[in-house]
Structure 1
Amino acid sequence: MSQVLRTHAVSRLRYLVQQVDRFERFHAGSARLEINAFTDLFTTDDVLSQIWDALRAHLSVSPKAWHEQANREREVPPLPRGAADCMAFRFATFRYMKSDKADLQHFVSNLFPGSYLNERLMNWKRLIVHPFAADCRTLVRDLPGRLPETEWVQLDECLESYLNGPFEQVGFGPRAWTDADDERAAASLAQAEAATTPAEPVAETSAVEAALAELEACVEAVHSSEREEVLLDLAALRIERRRPTFQRARFLAR
């Protein structure tokens, strides 16, 4: 067991989400290259490899045996029932597909529905790739909040506790990805984008605004050669006050 800097662990977990977003988009022509690259990342990165180490304890079905059964019976067997078991199986499937013994195009062409290769591959991805990506996002959403607020953390222990407990209730499980999942993912993305969009500036009725308005009224009533210059200064103060990046020091300096 080794400790990891908490900030480094959180950073690599966020990086994982970026990588699964990219990984999900592969097609028939890039499948082997993308699977190989993602598998290498997940097994060699100092933080992400600990996820695989923790998942491996939940691997209850051999991908090799599963694929042999599918080819023999000409039917896709069910996946393991547990959420952690399924996530482990799906990643182990990527590792199996990386081997020279596996032929993904042949497998999906014979066992998954579709009029052409990429459509058949899409249906395989709905069973294996998209649920795994969803589980990665769930793990990255939940795990940082479970890490101790210390400089160094025992990541493997936190992963084991999470996979054996809460993850069983929130993990994707054995089912395939559906159109309803696409809709939920799109809605979730829209909400996230809305949450990060800056709000329109709201008119303020603070004491400062009231003071500016009062000064403006006083200056309007004065007939002086400097009247227009003072009004321009007050307008500049009002603009400064309403900046989204308002800085008190800069306002007072004016």
Structure 2
Amino acid sequence: MKQCPAFLLLFSCLIATQLLFGQTLDAGRDSLVTDELVIRPIAEGVYVHTCFLQTNDFGKVPCNGMIVVSGGEAIIFDTPTTDSSSAELIRWIEDRLHCRVTGVIATHFHDDCLGGLNEFHRRGIPSYANRLTQRFAQENHAPVPQHGFDDQLQLAVGSQPVIADFVGEGHTRDNVIGYFPAAHVLFGGCLVKELGAGEGYLGDASVGAWSSTVSRARAAYPEATQVIPGHGIPGDVSLLDYTIKLFAPYR
């Protein structure tokens, strides 16, 4: 993929979020737009944070994470790609949303999930991940999440539950998804593709399992109304159906 200049990539990301959320490009109280980080609300108590990762094969790639807030607390799925962007994200949550970040969950071991994890640790924010993610992060000399789980993790944000769930292999052997029942929002991470996307990076993938794994995610959370992919524009459950179809030939 030909690399886009940074300002063009940022502008295209802003246009996409404007069309999706029906908002202007002016960053108000519930939005943030900088050269390194974009934050937009997607549902009550749910925000998408988008940062950028320079790659050899795909150029500069926008990478999504999820923020859920309730009762003065916030939990983040996936860190920004750098410690400086993580610091900016945490400051914005504290200053604009007046919430304390009580945890961060890495959905797999790649840099677009835990590249900025050290900043969370420096601030004393606990981190969580699949035990395989911990192992793979250590093997790849990446920041290692502190607390591991095997199948499913449930934390509280304020009085509301938030779930991290390993439903099977796909983009990686360790990838998990996130779900916030209060808003019916599913964070698919890199397991889920935006509409029209290609297969993307397959270097650590279990392509034969991918379609079945997303089918299990769809069945496990039938009440989900919005889905956030790891890269690209969020949407509804049609993103799950698209991803299932995309990888079905590998079954």
TM-score (norm 1): 0.24
Name whichever structure is richer in helix by fraction: 1
Name whichever structure is richer in strand by fraction: 2
Higher Rg of the two aligned structures? 1
TM-score (norm 2): 0.24
